[in-house]
Amino acid sequence: MRVGILTGGGDCPGLNAVIRAVAKSLIKSAGAEVIGIEQGFLGLIERRVRPLDLRSVAGIMATGGTILGTHNKANPFGYFGAGGADVSERVLAYVRELGLDALVVIGGDGSMAIAHQLAEKGIPVVGCPKTIDNDLAHTDRSFGFDTAVAIVTEALDRLQTTGQSHGRVMILETMGRWAGWIALHAGLAGSADIILIPELPYRLDEVARVCREREARQRYTLICVAEGAKPEGGGVTVKERIEDSPEPVRLGGVGNVLRAQLEPMLGCEVRTTILGHVQRGGPPTPFDRVLATQYGHAAAQLVAAREFNRVVVLKGDRIESVPLADVAGRSRNVPADHPLLRTASDTGISFGR
């Protein structure tokens, strides 16, 4: 068998661990030949591939980023390099020319949507869920999330001591797009006093009330706010629009907005830290290395069994797979009845409501 592998969309810790597991499993257990496609779908459009042998995937488990490179705009069904034209037939011909029996796509909802379209055109695809945001449908965990949570948690630990020393309100803004998974998990782990997530629009006066109450008691307050958080009746804070991106809206800046609003309402100083891409870089945690390896192995098994057009997912502690069509272009928010919300509330964390 000849199998192509690509990493699409934004990068995330654990991508190399998946590439390694897919390549090793396919080469060792199925005697397959593995072809690395560079810069996501761009490599298929611009004909940039290279062979991946056991040597080329050695020693990459702990390395952040992706050895193949990625691209968050390249889409064969609307290629920016051809004025947005559909170049999928060209891609199809190239896949045939390469003699690929299957394509492993490691990506988020956008990449899965493209993979699904390619599958409908006849390319046998297996998907693997990637994103620090943990917002992919039908999977309890995407790899990269645990690492992002660890980074945010460490930042909160550090902000707590400096906030405590100065008697300040410290705001930490996390990534996460339209979902609050990172802020919820890290906020809990990092002892945030207030967690603000998109799924639970907050009331500014309630956030200020909690800060004032803590000012009188503890002198400092730690707020963990997801970039997609918004006030009741209000909208999200948009950082920029990247028009040629499949998802043009980039969120960011709600932490600064909150600071400007809160400071005049409180008797203390307020400071904001926006962590940004620090959450996506560097080595994956041991949990993400294990999960990424399990996903890569499971994807290789699907390929070897010729079970195509499926995505590997985590359900509880079991790796399973679901149809690509069920995942493509879908996302997953924190449900209102998620047990962590109750745990957080019952242990004194405010959601600003």
Report the catalytic residues: 133
- Cβ-based neighbours of 346, under 8 Å, separated by 6 or more: none
Least distance (Å) from ligand F6P to the CB of residue 123? 24
**Alpha-carbon Rg of the chain, whole angstroms?**
22
Q: Which two tokens stand for residue 266?
A: 């409180």
The Cα 197–Cα 319 span in angstroms is 28
176 binds ligand F6P (CB under 6 A): yes
Using the minimum distance from each CB to ligand F6P, give the nearer residue, 142 or 221: 142
SS (H, E, C) 178-215: CCCHHHHHHHHHCCCCEEECCCCCECHHHHHHHHHHHH
Shortest approach of ligand F6P to residue 245 CB, angstroms? 7
> Out of 6, 45, 132, 169, which residue is the one contacting ligand F6P (CB under 6 A)?
132
Cβ 183 to ligand F6P shortest distance, Å: 11
Residue from 139, 143, 140 nearest 322 by CA: 139
Distance CA 109, CA 106 (A): 10
Stretch that binds ligand F6P, among 22-30, 76-84, 131-139, 199-207 (CB under 6 A): 131-139
For residues 289-348, which are near ligand F6P according to CB under 6 A? none
Which of 352, 334, 336, 56 minimizes the C-alpha distance to 207? Answer: 352
Near ligand F6P by CB under 6 A, which window of 115-123, 125-133, 229-237, 324-332?
A: 125-133
Taking CB under 6 A as the criterion, the residue among 68, 188, 226, 251 binding ligand F6P is 251
CB of residue 251 to ligand F6P, shortest distance in Å: 5
230 binds ligand F6P (CB under 6 A): no
Pick one of 18, 45, 126, 133: the residue that binds ligand F6P (CB under 6 A).
133
Binding range to ligand F6P, per CB under 6 A, among 126-134, 188-196, 208-216, 345-353: 126-134
Residue 10 makes contact with ligand F6P by CB under 6 A: yes
Tokens of residue 297, six digits: 């192995």
Backbone angles phi, psi at 50, to 5 degrees: -150, 150
Q: Nearer to ligand F6P by C-beta: 25 or 111? A: 111
Which residues in 11-40 contact ligand F6P (CB under 6 A)? none
For residue 230, give the nearest of 183, 263, 169 by alpha carbon: 183
Cα–Cα separations (whole angstroms), residue 313 to 161, 237, 324, 346: 38, 31, 11, 31
| 70, 72, 88, 139: residue in contact with ligand F6P (rule CB under 6 A) | 72
Residues forming the site for ligand F6P (CB under 6 A): 10, 72, 131-133, 175-177, 227, 250-251, 280
